[in-house]
Amino acid sequence: MVRRILLIEDEPNIIEAVRYILTREGWAVDTHSDGATALSQVARRRPDVIILDAMLPNRSGFDILRDLRADAATAEIPVLMLTARGQQKDRDLAERLGADRFMTKPFSNAEVLACVQALAGAD
């Protein structure tokens, strides 16, 4: 069975880098770049893991994470926050809201792959 990732990110270079890293290892990667409609994409695509940027157009990743955790249908989906916002207050907020992992940009390919595999229980 193919494992599905939903990458919610608005930076084209990051989208292509993450897609390349994960598809090379057999993951199916769907992408979405608008914070306002991200939750509907989660419901439609039913990913095994979500990679979520903190800074998105129209709605923050932190708000999206809060809503994901408040909904029984999405509360258990593992979430990796992947963001340029690497201050401790951002890490603390992500943890309080229920992010499973927090990673800052720039990132290493191996680090992203290992994190996703761990979150999906595929390692």
Q: What is the CATH number of the domain that holds 109?
A: 3.40.50.2300
Q: What is the pLDDT of residue 86?
A: 80
Model confidence over 53-80: pLDDT tens digits?
999 999 999 999 999 999 999 999 999 9
Model confidence over 7-59: pLDDT tens digits?
999 999 999 999 999 999 999 999 999 999 999 999 999 999 999 999 999 99
Residue type, 92: D
Residue type, 94: A
For residue 19 the two structure tokens come to: 């897609």
0.85 exceeded by the pTM?
yes
Q: How many other C-beta atoms lie within 10 A of the C-beta of residue 82? A: 24
Number of structural domains in the chain? 1
Measured CA to CA, the distance from residue 71 to residue 88 in angstroms comes to: 26
Q: Look up tokens 């608005």; give the residue.
A: 10
Q: Are 59 and 66 in contact, with CB atoms under 8 Å apart?
A: no
Domain of residue 53 covers 4-120
Q: What is the average pLDDT across 83-99?
A: 93
Burial (CB < 10 A; 0-12, 13-18, 19+), residue 89, is exposed
